[in-house]
Structure 1
Amino acid sequence: MKITTIGFDADDTLWHNERFYVLTQDRFADLLSDYSDRDSLDERLLEAERRNIGHYGYGIKGFMLSMIETAIEVTDSRVPASVIHRILEIGQDMLRHPIELLPEARAAVEAMANSDHRVLLITKGDLLDQERKLTESGLWEYFDGVEIVSEKTPEVYARVFSAHGDGPERAVMVGNSMKSDVLPAIEAGAWGVHVPFQLAWALEQAEAPEGHARFRVLENLGQLAGLVDEIG
């Protein structure tokens, strides 16, 4: 079936994101170095994030709350107010970080927009922050639809690709997360195209569906146009 719709993930597919979390965790570890070693602190923060996704969703604000919760836990509720204040400051720094597009991102989105495909941005996270990043990226004009969702599931992909296109069977989803961008898109009936990024959040990792007819891997977004031509 002819491909009519291309979906792009945003964070670490089109622009840098995870590196800001890594840098923030470094600053967080420095703040709490008197109370916990780095490995233990990272593990407890990850567990807090895992617990809190259902409450706060994805994004920087939920990450800030998980850092505060972890700081309270590792200090046995003795964390100084000055540390809480600093956590809030570094979280606000994350919310202001400038957008830096990844190599080939603009060219890939523009090429798809100038073809006869409908081009979508499908991302999860905080609504205000994702809108800010999209606006500052300068890519907004290329998208026929933007969906900021709380979770990426097969049902979400089926709904989005049906609402904005001709159904998942005629759609391609492109992203850096095997768990969120590839596996559920394939389960919905779409093509799942993985573009690996050098940094990967532990909660977004999953096994690749090796051998699946609708699974592809690209080294970079510059290869996307050729792949789309190849598969339809």
Structure 2
Amino acid sequence: MQKQTILFNLDDTLAYCNRYFAQVIDKFAEQMTVWFDSVSIDEFKRKQLEIDIKAIGKHGLASARFPESFVGTYNYFCDLMGREKEKEETDYLRQLGNQVFEIPVEPIPYMNETLTALKEEGHELYLHTGVMRPISKGKLPSWNSLHTLRIGSLFPNIKIPRLCRIY
């Protein structure tokens, strides 16, 4: 068999990622209905996504971007509804948004077996993640690094966010 160079994306290819963002967004939208009871959960989610996408286009995947999309959505609805902005509420929203980087990582089923088999077959494996360094440094260590995924030995020279050869 011909040896191949194989590129893996970390997020939602080797480890679950988007499900954690969805969980935190759900908590955010539910909290917003407490403060703005005439607005639907879907409206909060749409506005948060709109603000988040604009920020990604402008700032990339900087670590503060995601929690700030919660604050931006809150500010938007405060302005729209004529409600006074409360520092305690914006602080809470930032804290809530940062929770996504504290959730223990969960590998995709059969990730370890697949990577090990590919390595044993002699393939060159590379890891890529599109996150910026501040998120990576916040995300991976708080998720107990790649060691938690039991693939640390497969990724000894990881450098994020660049494309990295994993062994």
* Fold in common (TM above 0.5): yes
- The superposition leaves residues 40-83 of structure 1 with CA deviations (integer Å, 9 ceiling, x where unpaired) of 11111111111101343226532111111111111117332222
Contact kept in structure 2, 1:121 and 1:147, CA below 8 Å:
no
User: Contact 2:101 / 2:139 at 8 angstroms: preserved in 1?
Assistant: no
**Which is richer in strand?**
1
Q: Look up the match of 1:134.
A: 146
Say which SS state the counterpart of residue 12 (structure 1) adopts. Answer: coil
Q: For structure 2, list consecutive stretches of 5 or more residues without a partner in the other structure.
A: none
Tell me the C-alpha RMSD between the 2 structures: 2.5
2:126 pairs with 1:120: yes
How many residues are paired up?
Answer: 153
The TM-score normalised by the length of structure 1 is: 0.58
Residues 59 and 108 from structure 1, CA distance in 2 versus in 1: closer, same or farther, beyond 3 angstroms?
farther
**Counterpart for residue 170 of structure 1:** none
For residues 133-180 of structure 1, the C-alpha deviation after alignment (integer angstroms, 9 at most, x for no partner) is: 424322121136535338xxxxxxxxx5xx85xxxxxxxxxxxxxxxx
Gaps of 5+ in 1: 151-159, 165-232
Q: Secondary structure at the match of 2:122?
A: coil
In the TM superposition, what whole-angstrom CA distance separates every residue of 1:181-230 from its partner, at most 9, and x where no partner exists? xxxxxxxxxxxxxxxxxxxxxxxxxxxxxxxxxxxxxxxxxxxxxxxxxx
Residues 65-110 of structure 1 show CA distances to partners (whole Å, capped at 9, x for unaligned) of 1111111111117332222122122233222111111111111111
Paired residues of 1:119 and 1:144 also in contact (CA < 8 A): no
Quick one: higher RCO (CA 8 Å, sep 6+), 1 or 2?
Answer: 2
Letter in 1 for 2:9: D
Give me the identity figure in percent.
21
Partner of 1:43: 46
Which amino acid counterpart does residue 76 of structure 2 have in structure 1? E
The corresponding residue for 1:105 is 111
Q: Which structure 2 residues correspond to residues 78-97 of structure 1 after superposition, within 5 A?
A: 78-97=84-103
Could you say what secondary structure the match of 1:146 adopts?
coil
**Paired position in structure 1 for 2:69:** 66
